[in-house]
């Protein structure tokens, strides 16, 4: 494995660790706990490596949902983890400040040169971090926080219903 691939994987694993730390801090007031479990990931561009999933449990160790890492080699993002429960799943992505960009150029006839431009594909990506894409068609992203995570957890599981 090349140094750049190892760095990319290590960065992704550190981002996951930070996400899990935040999620663990949000769970106790809801009467929930979490436990990490190793899992293997294989990405075409990065190869195979081991990451941790985060198993979220309720009373009596009843499974509520799992934060499952998907990978670091994600188009338009620096990592992805899916929140998976019995009622569905939600995608959470790690985005650089500004989010993914569309770059384009066109020929300026008057100057006989190409004008180069770019624009963000998503609204709301004010800083680097974990985001939930609220609406792909409208290009809206929301930073993951305690309230949003709670809403997503209710969406994918029977928790709080």
107, part of any domain: yes
161, part of any domain: no
C-alpha 85/C-alpha 33 separation (Å) is 15
- Encode pLDDT of 102-132 as tens digits: 555 666 666 667 666 555 556 677 788 999 9
What predicted TM-score, i.e. pTM, was given to this entire model? 0.84
| Domain hosting residue 52, numbered range | 3-156
Cα–Cα nearest to 138, from 159, 152, 124, 157: 124
Whether 77 and 70 have beta carbons less than 8 Å apart is answered as no
pLDDT of residue 158: 86
- Encode pLDDT of 54-99 as tens digits: 999 998 888 999 999 999 988 778 899 999 999 999 999 998 776 6
- Encode pLDDT of 9-59 as tens digits: 999 999 999 999 999 999 999 999 999 999 999 999 999 999 999 999 998
C-alpha 69/C-alpha 34 separation (Å) is 15
61, part of any domain: yes
Residue 161, Cα to own-chain centre: how many angstroms? 25
86, part of any domain: yes
The label of the residue with tokens 């499952």 reads: 68
How many folded domains does the chain comprise?
A: 1
127, part of any domain: yes
């Amino acid at each position: 494995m090349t140094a750049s691939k190892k760095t990319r994987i290590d960065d992704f694993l550190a981002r996951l660790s930070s996400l899990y730390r935040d999620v663990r801090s949000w769970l106790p007031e809801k009467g929930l706990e979490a436990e990490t479990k190793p899992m293997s990931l294989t990405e075409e561009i990065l190869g195979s490596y081991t990451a941790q999933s985060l198993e979220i449990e309720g009373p009596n160790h009843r499974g509520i949902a799992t934060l499952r890492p998907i990978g670091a080699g994600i188009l338009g993002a620096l990592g992805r983890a899916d929140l998976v429960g019995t009622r569905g799943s939600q995608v959470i992505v790690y985005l650089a400040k500004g989010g993914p960009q569309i770059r384009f150029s066109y020929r300026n006839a008057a100057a006989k040169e190409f004008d180069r431009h770019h624009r963000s594909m998503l609204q709301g990506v004010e800083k680097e971090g974990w985001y939930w894409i609220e609406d792909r068609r409208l290009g809206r992203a929301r930073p993951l926080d305690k309230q949003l995570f709670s809403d997503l957890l209710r969406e994918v599981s029977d928790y709080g219903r």
